[in-house]
Amino acid sequence: MVESSNRFVMALMTLALAMATPGWSAPVQDGGTAGDHSGHDMDHMGRSGKMMHRLEAGDGNLHGKLEPQGELATGQKQKLLLRLTDEHGKPVRAKSVKFVWSMPSMGHDMGTKYALPQKEAGVWRVNYNFPMAGHYRAEAIVKLSDDSQRTLVFELMIP
């Protein structure tokens, strides 16, 4: 009796822990402009369902939009643009932007890349080669002109 009671308590604790883990119970939500990239039928955790990206992030004062230039795929250099705007939609000038790439399911970073400023104010370019299919997290660490730093988090699913 005690053993089955212990198993029941352990099962409840495991379920509670899993439900408290961000992203475990729900797919990444679209930031408002990312499409379903038709034909892909997985969420960010690889479970069946509609594949979603989170390509917009912000904190009220800084807004970022990540724009892949072409179809996302593995094994080739991908070009992405990051557009930074303020709360009024005006381009934000930053001193630097670096991207820290990770695969949450793998539990480690997949590399850091510095973004290159473009001629257009508030637009940065980053190139990245996705080594395998799966859910990627891109943390854009933005150093603003006043030397403050902000982090914007984007989610991508690479088929």
The pLDDT tens digits for 98-108 are: 999 999 988 77
Higher pLDDT, 137 or 13: 137
Residue 144 pairs in a beta bridge with: 94
What number does CATH give the domain 26-158? Answer: 2.60.40.1930
pLDDT digits (tens, 9 = 90+) for 27-52: 333 333 333 333 333 333 444 344 46
Residue 149 pairs in a beta bridge with: 143
How many CB atoms are closer than 10 A to CB 110? 18
CA distances to 81, 98, 129 from 57, in Å = 14, 15, 22
pLDDT of 92 over the 90 cut = yes
What confidence score (pLDDT) does residue 112 get?
86
In the chain, where the domains are located: 26-158
Percent of residues in the chain assigned helix, strand, coil, to nearest 5: 10, 45, 45
Query: Do residues 16 and 25 touch, judged by C-beta distance below 8 A?
Result: no
Mean pLDDT, the chain, whole residue set:
75
